[in-house]
Structure 1
């Protein structure tokens, strides 16, 4: 019985503490709406002529026969087509 009484006193004390504490500048106000993401222009994607992997055009290696994802694929594909 003592345990229940102590538990009840602690719950009431916690409830009073939560309701009486000072509200800071960030609390108690309505939350700010999320900021819209900065719109980005879509990237042009190209496929590697050797393996077909799509990658941004700015990261692709350009060869005689098209775009490649790495120097090894450019060398293998252009060497095989000679």
Structure 2
């Protein structure tokens, strides 16, 4: 009888703990990724997000090395 009572208390604790975690997940809306324009590197053709692009006179580049190779 004592083991049965201990098991019931343990199961109730686990259930309450899981309910609290589920309520916290519902309270916070899921984060949606920001949409960005994709730009093509003028040197190699790889597409990169506009926030990571290196801009030069002839266009956008994926890295400073490609900018250096393409523009004087």
Which TM-score bucket, shorter chain as reference? 0.5 to 0.7
| Bigger helix fraction | 2
The root-mean-square deviation of aligned C-alpha atoms, in Å, is 3.2
Distance, in Å, in 2 between the alignment partners of 1:71 and 1:63 is 9
- Secondary structure (helix, strand or coil) at the match of 2:70 reads helix
| Higher RCO, Cα 8 Å, sep 6+ | 2
Instruction: Return the TM-score normalized by structure 1.
Output: 0.55
1:78 offset after TM fit, Å?
A: 2.6
Structure 2 unaligned runs (5+)? none
Structure with higher Rg: it is 1
1:57 offset after TM fit, Å?
A: 1.3
